[in-house]
Structure 1
Amino acid sequence: METYGSGVAFFDYDGDGDADLYLVNGADLPSASPTRPPPLNRLFRNEGGGVFLDATAGAGAGDGGYGMGVAVADVDNDGLCDFYVTNWGANSLYRNTGVKFLNVTAGAGVGDPHMGTSAAFADYDMDGQLDLYVANYAHIDPSAAKECFQGGVRVYCGPLDHEGVSGVLYRNRGDGTFEDRTRAMGVFTEKGRQLGVLFADYDQDGDPDLYIANDAVANFLFRNDGAAFVETALLAGVAYSDNGEPEAGMGTDFGDYDNDGDPDLIVTNYQWESNRLYRNEGDFFSDATTPAGMTAATLPFLGFGVNFLDVDNDGLRDLYIVNGHVDSNVRDYDHGASYAQRSLLFHNEGEGRFTEVGLHAGPGMTLAMVGRGSATADYDLDGDVDLCAVSNGGPAVLLRNDSRNASNWLQVKAVGTQSNRSAIGARLVLRAGTGIQSAEVRSGSGYLSQSELPVHFGLGATTQVDRLTIYWPSGKRQVLENIPANQRLTVIEPERK
């Protein structure tokens, strides 16, 4: 388990308009250091000017569990961002009171005790309250660990050496408590080894669907049909590789990279398996990995964190991928592999093609690390998207975007009224000189992580957005026109349709 973590979150916990930073830490097993206090997760307050200050103690945010992932949302619709931490062991929900965070796990009933990985909030039943899905990996008992070998070298045992365990779907009752609806909603399964998880309305029917990246077994796509979820990954073309084999799915993200109005899908995989890019064709997904130029470029890397982002504000979503092996001794059995690996940055050239430009994107991108979680935010409020990546057993890496081009941009912070306050699940469609772009407000991102909630659009040379249409989770449709570029726009859901 120690080789899988951990995650990172960007979110504005203090409501001052800029993204703060939350880093999840692992821990020793109790038997390894019974007298040493556990390392705590860390919350860093954004002070502006590129400076962050450790606010963990004062904010009460230092969860001491064996940390894995984090997801952020305004769970109680009070205008303040709360967060959920997954652990190896009981998970934790922290409610933001405006003064500090309170651990409300016991009262909320969301302390699942398994090996939690990624988590995501969404209003799956469209009642205005944010529900929660928690991905679980497997039953792992360190006291019963067996020895596993590859090429005569002792390594971590693989995912199929452990018994799978279902994730958990919690329904928000709206009174501070949640109920387990996993079986009732059709998402219970012990076949997976769940790592990456995201909600997205891939079929554009107005409710959030659920995608889960599994390690070494078929991935899951649960289509939300209202009364229940229906598993459709095989029929939709996102369960297996292009040759029909299960892959070691790690991280996942949705993004409309071809600007056709619907969310496409990326999944990171194990070394010598390429990452998988799926293009949304409406009723199904097609494997676009090779046509996009991503097969050979990703084969030598073991991918974890992944994010769609428009790094140069040209109106096309690029891809950032964080890499790192799981075995520190990998060179002893695979001389072509390495434990620490550089990140990949795929520039979107349009027409469905990407070019890997990481070697030319600055020292932060070429830095070798044992990469895991990653998240995006414009933390310095200069109009371009910055990054943070987590290294297993090492320091996190904060990457400031210094592209310094003349391209324009628009950032949108959506605030729900009848919909959930975080506006998670809202779909934004933008029409401008660069054509049409679309994006969703989303909780959870990539691998074990959370990007900031405001949505970023690059506009290229266009100085004005002709039309911005917001499809709110409540069913309302809101249209704004003639919006000047280069601003962070706050849009409040109207009281009437």
Structure 2
Amino acid sequence: MIQFVYLVLFISVSNLFFSKKIDVWILLILSFYTHAQRVTFTEKTQLIQYVTGTMGQAKCAADMNGDGLDDITRVSKEGIFIDFQQIDCSFSSHFFPLEIKALPEWSITAGDINSDGLNDLLFGGVSKVSFVLSGVYRNQFIEKVASIPVTSQRSNFIDINQDGLLDAFVCNDIGKSIPFRNTGIEEMQIDFSLINTSELPGNYSSVWTDYNNDGKADLYVSKCLPNTLPGHPARTNLLYKNLGSNQFQEVGAQAHVDDNAQSWTSVFEDFDHDGDMDFLVINHDDNNRFYRNNGDGTFTDIIEFTGIDVFDPGAFEAVSGDFDNDGNPDIISELNKQLYLGNGDLTFFGQQLVFKPGAIGDFNNDGFLDITTRSQVWINDGNKNHFVKFMLKGWESNHNGIGAKILIRTGNKIQTRELRAGQSYSPMNTLNVHFGLGKDTIIDEVKIIWPSGIQTILLNVASDSLYTIAEGICSLPVTKILYDNINHMCPGKSKALKLPEAYSLYRWNNGFTENSIHISGPGLYYAMYRDSSGCTGLSDQVIIADPDNIQHTIEITEGDSINCTGEMVVISSSSARSVWSGGESGTEEITVTQNGEYFTQLILFALRELIFHAKFL
């Protein structure tokens, strides 16, 4: 928002052609950028476990166990540390031992490679790239290192060839960037037929975005090559226009975005609510740029009118998000003013933060975006504004729906987001699509344009919730999976999961396509289903665990198993992340005074129940 101040000055001057003085009234219009309120954060690093050896690695804020809550993933040489967010806003820490061969020194990316409902990881290291298959419910991750050395920078997941599987793109600092094709059998193969980019080095940051609104994801690469003079071609940022059928055309010069400064990263968002993506470029040896999308395939640099410091070089990270939930995208970066709050009209108000940006997620599920950076957690203090979040489940499209465009309309205002995996320079943000709503509590219309081209439209959506949306032309109600309600199974056993026979098509996250399946191991299980009209629904989730992997005990800490009437017994769980049979949560101990069966479940994986029988005589 630009606020205008009108200042009237009275000046008495002598006229050069006449002997008398002339009174002159001058109207000066002064302008400055304003914003309603600042955003504050509180450090709550104590929420997560202290670990060593992860400080220099990129951080990940994506959901790693499929419950829709953002988790915090850190990596060391010894393995993967995940702090799983709980329903009571606490975290439960778990370590997955694994000798990591390609540490994510430069970037980390999350996405569901094998369509099993759990996010896998891509590690971008100094000389290696690896793909890490999730094993949250098997207590084991599997790392697969790429076949050639790569001096990686930013990495992304995106379905380049539109076959419904996530491919990958890795910026290469010393040569041609590397595309990886998903083979569908948990293997990622280098395949330059997906996209053929420049042979030149200096590829630092990549963003996949549909800049021309033709329904196809284009690619912008921010370039930086040390020890080169202005004009060197390896410094020039590149825009690859997607022509379809794995054909791309470099059009940076035609679009007027062929910046030759030493660029580190770029931030794409619809900052002015006109339906197309504008973007900020962070430079190191020249002015920063802010490109307004002209809507005709070209851009105009307007940074001097935005309120963002033109002469503030040297930042590494920069990414967008609505941190005050006012309905206007903001930018958090390593500029001197770390947070630029958007006004929705391509102007911003800058404020300083006491921490540098990192991975963005909602770490207390209150609808306000938080930050994890280095080994710190910064929780957004929030305000009275509203929000909405969407988690996408693709059918024809990739399982995460990465590459989808989401539009929401409240009154005359339209907001647009793209679901991306891999933004800024190094971290991985939440895969839940977040919108601030300001004072609005009802969204008039939600439109999801999936990578397949299918559109899902929802009307009159209430605020302040996370919605899980399955790909389809319309939506069906959630259906409950029928099973024996025992959430664990021993090796060698099987378990039946069943949905009603009311639908035309079924797709379970383990690949089966019948309404009833038999499972033979632990894991997360759910299904999508579709009726004859093309409407799609999503079942609830069933989590089955291996009892051998559960470190959870229950014991008497005061009293005995048999007691006299009027006495009390204190029973304790080994985890404060437990839910007791009486509904108590977030506590290790409960006190009982009556006969009965008391049990606890560990929230982390919704695992087996531990039972204590109390008897009073």
- TM-score (norm: length of structure 2): 0.51
Report the RMSD for the aligned CA atoms in angstroms.
4.1
- Aligned-partner Cα distance in 1 for 2:368–2:400: 28
Pairs within 5 Å for 1:429-440: 429=408, 440=418
Secondary structure of residue in 2 paired with 1:250: coil
Q: Match for residue 344 of structure 2?
A: 282
Equivalent pair of 2:166/2:398 in contact (CA under 8 Å): no
Secondary structure of residue in 2 paired with 1:18: coil
Q: 1:307 to 1:237 in 2, by over 3 A?
A: farther
Q: 1:104 to 1:206 in 2, by over 3 A?
A: same
Higher relative contact order (CA 8 A, sep 6+): 1
Secondary structure of residue in 2 paired with 1:183: helix
- Aligned-partner Cα distance in 1 for 2:369–2:360: 6
Q: Match for residue 183 of structure 2?
A: 97
Q: Match for residue 46 of structure 1?
A: 134
Secondary structure of residue in 2 paired with 1:234: helix
Question: What do the CA deviations read for 1:39-64 (whole angstroms, capped 9, x no partner)?
Answer: x312111122384522415xxx4552
- Aligned-partner Cα distance in 1 for 2:434–2:368: 11
- Aligned-partner Cα distance in 2 for 1:442–1:107: 18
Q: 1:476 to 1:488 in 2, by over 3 A?
A: closer
The answer to whether 1:490 aligns with 2:444 is no
Question: What do the CA deviations read for 1:159-211 (whole angstroms, capped 9, x no partner)?
Answer: 99x99811111111212121111111111121x22112232111111122222
The answer to whether 1:7 aligns with 2:107 is yes
> Which has more radius of gyration?
2
Offset at 1:253?
1.2
Q: 1:121 to 1:171 in 2, by over 3 A?
A: same
Equivalent pair of 1:444/1:450 in contact (CA under 8 Å): yes
Equivalent pair of 2:360/2:428 in contact (CA under 8 Å): no
Alignment match of 2:303 (pick from 233, 241, 246) = 233
- Aligned-partner Cα distance in 1 for 2:233–2:345: 33
The answer to whether 1:442 aligns with 2:420 is yes
The answer to whether 1:66 aligns with 2:151 is yes
Q: Number of matched residues?
A: 361
Secondary structure of residue in 1 paired with 2:332: strand
- Aligned-partner Cα distance in 1 for 2:141–2:282: 34
- Aligned-partner Cα distance in 1 for 2:216–2:137: 36
Amino acid at match of 1:347: N
Amino acid at match of 1:137: C
Q: Match for residue 173 of structure 1?
A: 243
Q: 1:205 to 1:251 in 2, by over 3 A?
A: same
Equivalent pair of 1:419/1:472 in contact (CA under 8 Å): no
- Aligned-partner Cα distance in 1 for 2:216–2:272: 22
Q: Return 5+ residue gaps in structure 2 as ranges.
A: 1-55, 59-104, 475-533, 536-617
Question: What do the CA deviations read for 1:298-319 (whole angstroms, capped 9, x no partner)?
Answer: 4xxxx4x523322111122223
Pairs within 5 Å for 1:150-229: 165-190=235-260, 192-227=261-296, 228-229=298-299
- Aligned-partner Cα distance in 1 for 2:415–2:366: 11
- Aligned-partner Cα distance in 2 for 1:139–1:124: 29
Secondary structure of residue in 2 paired with 1:184: helix
Alignment match of 1:25 (pick from 109, 125, 132) = 125
- Aligned-partner Cα distance in 1 for 2:233–2:366: 46
Q: Match for residue 380 of structure 2?
A: 347
- Aligned-partner Cα distance in 2 for 1:421–1:41: 22
Equivalent pair of 2:360/2:430 in contact (CA under 8 Å): no
Q: 1:481 to 1:226 in 2, by over 3 A?
A: closer
Offset at 1:255?
0.8
Equivalent pair of 2:359/2:373 in contact (CA under 8 Å): yes
- Aligned-partner Cα distance in 2 for 1:184–1:458: 34
Q: 1:260 to 1:458 in 2, by over 3 A?
A: closer
Offset at 1:416?
9.3
The answer to whether 1:479 aligns with 2:541 is no
Q: 1:75 to 1:216 in 2, by over 3 A?
A: same
Amino acid at match of 1:288: G
Q: Match for residue 563 of structure 2?
A: none
Alignment match of 2:207 (pick from 101, 117, 120) = 120
- Aligned-partner Cα distance in 1 for 2:120–2:284: 31
- Aligned-partner Cα distance in 2 for 1:493–1:203: 28
- Aligned-partner Cα distance in 1 for 2:390–2:401: 15
Secondary structure of residue in 2 paired with 1:288: strand
- Aligned-partner Cα distance in 2 for 1:309–1:438: 19
Q: Match for residue 364 of structure 2?
A: 312
Q: 1:410 to 1:71 in 2, by over 3 A?
A: same
Give percent identity, aligned residues only.
22
- Aligned-partner Cα distance in 2 for 1:447–1:139: 17
Offset at 1:487?
6.4
Amino acid at match of 1:489: I
- Aligned-partner Cα distance in 2 for 1:349–1:103: 44
- Aligned-partner Cα distance in 2 for 1:82–1:257: 30
